[in-house]
Amino acid sequence: MESFNEEKEKNTVWKKNLPVLWIAVFLCCASYTSCIPFLPVYIMREMGVPQSEVNFWAGISFAVTFLGCTVMAPYWGALADHVGQRKMALRAGYGLALTYFLTGVCQNVYQLIGVRILCGIVAGFVPACMSMASSSLPESRMGWGMGLMQTALSSGTIMGPLMGGYMASWFGMRMSFYLGSLALFAGTVAVMLVVKDMTILQKGSFSASSLWHDLKDSLKNKELRFIMFMFFMIQTCIMTIQPLITMYVGQLMGAMGDEAVKMSGVIFSLAGFAGILAAPFWGKRGQRYGYVRVFALVTFTAGFINLFQVFIKDVWQFAAIQFIYGLFLAGAVPNINANLTVVTDKATRGKAFGLSTSANQFGGVVGPLLGGALGAVMTTRYVLVATGCILMCMGAYSYFTREHKAA
């Protein structure tokens, strides 16, 4: 009878929760992608950093944020099981809105680094919203509802860079951060006023020491360790490139002016559009032919496509290669995520996803640092080629150590 009442309540609550959570996630993703990809230009223009040092400081600013996420994500996730996801969403939403505002008032790179560390520490708005959506949806609506929530992520990823490029051109780069802060604040207020948290809370005291115990137990799974390593490498490759793209577009266009910022927004949006087009296709191929096999195919092919960066002559060729590259790389995460459900049981799956998230975030620490270091000794096109080689090695390693061995 209790489960019947719970399902009846869900049939009412989800109709209120889902639209608000969709808008909140969209605003969060759009705010992020409208500001953060342009951080290198912000560092150069607003803080007076010489262009020769921009890649270094941009790499540091990206890395410290992901470091904060890596350290705090397991703690916030475990705490949410005891206090509820709604409180975690409010904590993260208001905290991120504050950090975006503070980014807009920073006067030097040292202040920026401090704010970016704080940003990583308080992050976690989107996972909390996604969790609340899944908790409030009835089983009959789960697949449809979570698919709808995924469109909020994708739509924000597409719209954010376009809006950010034009906002920076029209109103200045600092105003982009203020508007991003306002959008996040509005989304968080909507969650606070409307959303009801249906998360089932764990009883008993919360102990941080249990996290270490769970970590040791989960890492005994050899296949989970492989998946964590793949998550780490994928994110490392992505974040090696991302901080360099805006400045590289400026080089290809001959000047780091407003037109280059707008064009960078278009290229970032193309990557999001490629993900919407290709991710469902590769997900279905993985279900049919095997997740590891398709993961190996898409990572190897994406890496091979990146080798053609050495031949590009103008920004439109770069945009075309990035789009095709995105069509293949979009299949990596869905298939490795799906494989995670194959190699773990239901009782430990939540912990496994948490560990994979931490591995992914740690790649976000290493990637920008690697990109900054490589950018100091070689041109950006060869950094892109280097990441292509890494992806090809990952695809070959996955196939010959997992798929080929199993066959």
Q: Distance between CA atoms of 64 and 362, rounded to whole angstroms?
A: 10
Sorted by sequence, the CB contacts under 8 Å of residue 342 that are 6+ apart come out as 291
Give the burial string for 286-314 (b: 16+ CB within 10 Å, else e).
beeebbbbbbbbbbbbbbbbbbbbeebee
> 135: which 2 tokens?
């908790």
Q: What is the pLDDT of residues 255-308, one digit of tens each?
A: 767 777 778 888 888 877 887 788 778 878 887 888 889 999 999 999 999 999
pLDDT at 213: 65
Quickly name the fold that domain 211-407 has: Growth Hormone; Chain: A; (1.20.1250)
pLDDT digits (tens, 9 = 90+) for 121-139: 998 888 888 778 877 877 7
Are 1-196 and 211-407 the same fold in CATH? yes
pLDDT in tens, 56-104: 888 888 888 888 887 887 777 777 777 778 888 999 999 999 999 999 9
Residues 6 or more apart from 14 whose CB is under 8 A from it?
133, 136, 137, 138, 141, 145
| Under 8 Å between Cβ of 98 and 177 | no
Task: Check: CB of residue 122 under 8 Å from CB of residue 92.
Answer: yes
* Calpha distance 55→380 (Å, rounded): 10
Q: How confident is the model at residue 39 (pLDDT cuts 50, 70, 90)?
A: confident
DSSP 203: P
Amino acid 111: pLDDT? 94
Q: How far apart are CA 351 and CA 198, in angstroms?
A: 20
Residue 58 CB coordination number (10 Å): 28
For the segment 180-195, what is each residue's pLDDT rounded down to a tens digit? 999 999 999 999 999 8
Residue 401 per-residue DSSP state: I
User: Taking the C-alpha atoms of 309, 315, 317 and 320 in order, what is their torsion angle to the nearest 10 degrees?
Assistant: 100
The vertex-227 CA angle with 230 and 342, nearest 5°, equals 145
What percent of the chain lies above the pLDDT cut of 70?
86
Assign a CATH topology to domain 1-196: Growth Hormone; Chain: A; (1.20.1250)
Residues 389 and 308: their CA atoms lie apart, in Å, by 11
Report domain extents, the chain: 1-196, 211-407
Do residues 82 and 206 make contact, with C-beta atoms less than 8 angstroms apart? yes
Q: What is the pLDDT of residues 136-156, one digit of tens each?
A: 877 777 667 766 777 787 788
| Angle made by CA atoms 349, 350, 353, in degrees to the nearest 5 | 85
Question: Six-digit token pair at 285?
Answer: 């191929």
pLDDT digits (tens, 9 = 90+) for 6-34: 555 556 787 888 899 999 999 998 898 88
